[in-house]
């Protein structure tokens, strides 16, 4: 059993790489794949790059060339749900592509020729990610200096199982977020890779989960020191989430392919 780990930030890759043993590195298509073990489990770690095409081609390589069985994606996202704060975690329940629009051929947001609008993450991986988030958030002040948590106003961070909207746009103005929410009010977070990776996993029958740390409020907050946030907060979140998910005694067992949740909210 091999687990693919994709990260959307190079800094996160470095931190997760430090957890690995027996590492072999292979370059393909402009990506660097690190093959090795974490807590005795075989993993392949790679930086996805940003956007739908980059992350989809990377996911395809992980599946077809590196033969992964499960995929964990870790990155940051903007919150569209007003109850979410910087430092909260969103674990994907469902993902869709907010910029997909093949009308009048297909309904808004439906992926052409699939009948699918929402991709559903794997329930076992969601459970593992939830347990990992619980553990991380309960001991956060031991992992990240309190002064740094204060700097980003991270006071009582939480995790939710939510709906993630993916598109080839960095969402940084309120109007854009409002337009996405007007069409799908259940959207919790916006990012640029998740539902593309989910589409590839759906095509190949690979189970997956996407875990996102909220880095911004998609146009609703003032400027954040993004590089500092990645270095001091998001990097550590990803490292501990992956470690906690893979540390568990029981293995990530076969839990069925991700199913299309075409009926959900469409």
Residues near ligand SAH (CB under 6 A) are 8, 50, 75-78, 170-172, 190-193, 215-216, 218, 226
Q: Tell me the closest approach of the beta carbon of residue 263 to ligand SAH, in angstroms.
A: 27
Q: Considering beta carbons, is residue 84 or 137 the nearer one to ligand SAH?
A: 84
DSSP 241: H
DSSP category for residue 258: P
CB of 242 to ligand SAH, least distance (A): 16
Smallest distance, Å, CB 210 to ligand SAH? 10
Closest contact distance (angstroms) between CB of 250 and ligand SAH is 30
Would you say 170 or 204 has its CB closer to ligand SAH? 170
Is the CB of 164 or the CB of 252 nearer to ligand SAH? Answer: 164
Q: Measured from the CB atom, is 191 or 252 closer to ligand SAH?
A: 191
> Closest-CB residue for ligand SAH?
78
Residues 3 and 72: beta-carbon distance below 8 Å:
yes
Give me the DSSP letters along 109-148: TPBTTTTBS-EEPPHHHHHHHHHHHHHHHHTHHHHS-HHH
**Residue 185: CB minimum distance to ligand SAH, A:** 18
For residue 44, what are the β-bridge partners? 4, 35
Strands (E), the chain: 2-7, 21-28, 31-38, 41-47, 70-79, 89-97, 119-120, 159-166, 187-191, 207-216
User: Phi, psi at residue 210, to the nearest 5°?
Assistant: -115, 130
Angle between the 194-204 and 52-64 helix axes, to the nearest 10 degrees? 30
Our CB check for ligand SAH shows the closer of 4 and 78 to be 78
The candidate with the shortest Cα–Cα distance to 255, out of 57, 89, 72, is 72
Cis preceding-peptide flag for 26 (omega within 30 of 0): no
First-to-final CA distance of the chain:
35
Least distance from ligand SAH to the Cβ atom of residue 78, Å: 2
Which is nearer to ligand SAH, 45 or 252 (by Cβ)? Answer: 45
């Amino acid at each position: 059993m091999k687990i693919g780990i994709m990260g959307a930030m190079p800094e996160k890759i470095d931190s997760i790489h430090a957890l690995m043993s027996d590492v072999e590195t292979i370059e393909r298509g402009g990506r660097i794949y690190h093959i090795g073990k974490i807590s005795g489990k075989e993993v392949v770690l790679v930086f996805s790059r940003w956007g739908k095409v980059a992350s989809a081609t990377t996911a395809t390589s992980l599946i077809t060339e590196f033969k992964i069985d499960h995929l964990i994606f870790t990155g940051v996202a903007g919150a569209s749900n007003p109850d979410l704060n910087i430092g909260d975690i969103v674990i994907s329940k469902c993902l869709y592509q907010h910029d997909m629009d093949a009308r009048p051929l297909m309904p808004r947001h439906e992926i052409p020729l699939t009948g699918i609008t929402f991709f559903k993450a794997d329930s076992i991986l969601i459970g593992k990610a939830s347990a990992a988030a619980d553990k991380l958030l309960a001991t956060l002040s031991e992992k990240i200096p309190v002064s740094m948590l204060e700097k980003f106003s991270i006071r009582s961070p939480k995790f939710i199982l939510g709906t993630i909207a993916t598109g080839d746009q960095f969402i940084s103005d309120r109007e854009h977020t409002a337009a996405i929410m007007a069409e799908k009010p259940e959207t919790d977070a916006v990012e640029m890779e998740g539902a593309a990776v989910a589409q590839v996993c759906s095509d190949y029958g690979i189970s997956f989960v996407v875990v996102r740390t909220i880095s911004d409020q998609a146009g609703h907050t003032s400027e954040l020191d993004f590089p500092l946030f990645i270095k001091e907060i998001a990097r550590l979140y990803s490292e501990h989430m992956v470690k906690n998910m893979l540390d568990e005694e029981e293995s990530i067992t076969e839990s069925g392919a991700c199913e299309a949740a075409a009926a959900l909210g469409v």
